[in-house]
Structure 1
Amino acid sequence: MQAHSNGLDKAVLIAGPTASGKSALGLALAQRARGVVINADSMQVYRDLRIITARPTIDEEAQVPHRLYGAVDASVNFSAGAWVNEAARVLDDVRAQGGLPIFVGGSGLYFKALTRGLSAVPPIPAEVRERVRSRLEQHGVEALHAELAGRDPVSAARLKPRDRTRIARALEVVEATGRTLPDWHRDGLPPLLPPGAFSAVFLAPDRDQLYARIDARFGAMLAAGALGEVERLAARGLDPLLPAMKAHGVPTLIRHLKGEITLEEAAEIGRADTRHYAKRQFTWFRHQLPEFEWVRPEAAVEWLEDELRLSPF
């Protein structure tokens, strides 16, 4: 992707697996290029989870403007659509002030919504979601798949008969709106950043080095107070199906707090879950967002200098 005259009239997208150095790179670029770091991580949006999600520190946030970090309460089921609405507002603000928008995160769906657009499905009322979930628990996933086949045969044919989450989602949409998911997807929202409006990099570290960093970081999070953070979250008694309650490390530390497993066991499960997530991030970006340039973290600064035509950092 070619940069414009000085490269700074486009947004910059910095993606990569967890623990690959995205936040540090975004901070360095923002300091160099009057940038604003905008969160594109679905867990770093939650204010209750600074430590366990490795959100930028208070000191880092003070160095350059950071937006959409810790902006949402853990009780909110924050979606990609809600994030895009917020990101559009922030993007307008940053551009109005002549800043460089720098989106940083690991959530592929957020980046896909940003660059490819999003389906126009309206929010599903809580009572509809509860009704479908109740039927799922009472009758089982096969019964719901059969029901979906009658109401939305296209979605039913696409989905595996045991895919609880997606079957329930497709049924919720039909029940709440009277239209099927494929119908809604045809009337999608346009991308905030169309092709040519951004430079996109995916940090691709050596796998073994990355996994070692993930393992070390989980220990550092515990040393920094992650267990207390999760204990305060657990004390709120929120629905365990909320996104914030499923952040990496949260369910396993809650099991430890309940006395089900030791802290060492919880840490090992948390590390393993995070390593598996990193592996899925590599796969997802490779297949879903091929427009991202894959760069080794140690070469990323040089890549940005070339792409944005900046003098060396």
Structure 2
Amino acid sequence: MPNLTVPALFGPTGVGKTAIAVALAERLRAAGEDPVAVSADALQLYSGLAVLTGAASVEEQSRLEHRLVGVLPVHATSSAGDYAKRAHAEIDSLLAAGRRPIVVGGTGLYLRAALAELDLRPAPDPEVRARWNAELARNGAQALHARLTERAPAAAVRIAITDSQRVVRALELLDGGHAPPSPGAESQLWTRETRHPTLLAGVWMDRRVLYERIDARVDAMVARGAREEVEAAVAAGASPGARQALGFEELSGGDEERMKQRTRNYAKRQLTWMRKLPGVLMLDATGESPERLAARLHEALRERDAAGPAS
């Protein structure tokens, strides 16, 4: 099947990306295609955290196959480079078989890793990473962020205190003689060519509505067993990477309200980031059904496919 454009859905947590992907898949199947979703969420890679990470439900996966979900044990370590190899292999094999990948994610770096060849920084030194993670466990996120502020104030301003994974990575780079990524580095990555013809679709909605959805989503996650997932992951020796899942540490301490606040803060940053990206089909999900949004996306895909690779 020639000229298959890869749709890449992204947007803040809780905005309804999976539902749109499922609705899009149904339209594509009606047109004779056999699409497959490829997750670009760093935390959905881990098994045993499906509820906490908002992975596609069993019912959703029965309507659209999802790849790169639950493929790593919770104690494993992984990097964006590791993920890129997996994602490229999945996307390339699907396209070679005439099947359209639908890339779905809210994690900016991992979405880019799925779509493009990234100029990644050096791989982390396991000993250096272990040392910083030990300091994080011993002294907490605020103290670790203070260390980064001492060494690279500009980088510390850009990285939230709660984003311990990025704080650790910045300190690793400094230890290795490398500067943390510059302010424009993330947006610049989007100007580079994607590996395949791609349609970026950013899903957003009114912030007040989104925050209400997030609060209700957290309540539903807890009711469906998110706290029990966290307890099982801790018992299994969850890696620092797995512990970065939104709500992991909060539910470990039984603080659902703090989980809601942290998730809302994260969604706010995602909304700000996505509005800066060039060449994106913006889909306003406020008051819209997944089916109507999928119809818009499907029409845009048909136009891109018809225009060919040079579009």
- With normalisation by structure 1, the TM-score equals 0.76
Q: Secondary structure at the match of 2:41?
A: coil
CA shift, 1:43, in A, is: 1.6
Aligned to 1:247: 245
Change (3 A) 1:162 1:281: closer
Matches within 5 A, 1:32-47: 32-33=27-28, 34-47=34-47
Residues of 1 paired with 2:24 and 2:70: CA distance? 21
Q: Is contact 1:12-1:102 (8 Å) kept? A: yes
Q: Is contact 2:155-2:180 (8 Å) kept? A: no
Letter of the 2:198 partner, please give it. Answer: F
CA shift, 1:38, in A, is: 0.5
Q: Please list the CA deviations of residues 233-274 of structure 1 after superposition, one character each: whole Å capped at 9, or x if unmatched.
A: 1222445xx121121121111112xxxxxxxxx221111111
Matches within 5 A, 1:207-222: 207-222=207-222
Extract unaligned runs of 5+ from structure 1.
1-5, 149-155, 257-265
Give identity over the alignment, percent.
34
Of 18, 29, 33, which residue of structure 2 is paired with 1:23? 18
Say if 2:15 is the partner of 1:14: no
Extract unaligned runs of 5+ from structure 2.
29-33, 304-311
Say if 2:289 is the partner of 1:305: no
CA shift, 1:116, in A, is: 5.2
CA shift, 1:12, in A, is: 0.4
Change (3 A) 1:24 1:7: farther
Residues of 1 paired with 2:157 and 2:180: CA distance? 17
Residues of 1 paired with 2:64 and 2:253: CA distance? 37
CA shift, 1:157, in A, is: 7.8
Q: Secondary structure at the match of 1:32?
A: helix
Letter of the 2:10 partner, please give it. Answer: A
CA shift, 1:179, in A, is: 6.4
Change (3 A) 1:191 1:58: farther
Q: Is contact 2:41-2:111 (8 Å) kept? A: no
Q: Is contact 2:12-2:204 (8 Å) kept? A: yes
Instruction: Give the count of matched residue pairs.
Output: 279
Change (3 A) 1:209 1:170: closer
Q: Please list the CA deviations of residues 198-253 of structure 1 after superposition, one character each: whole Å capped at 9, or x if unmatched.
A: 111111112222111111111111111112111111222445xx121121121111
Residues of 1 paired with 2:251 and 2:220: CA distance? 15
Q: Secondary structure at the match of 1:44?
A: helix
CA shift, 1:73, in A, is: 1.9
Aligned to 2:51: 51
Aligned to 1:159: 155
Larger Rg belongs to: 1
Say if 2:282 is the partner of 1:279: no
CA RMSD of aligned residues (A): 3.4
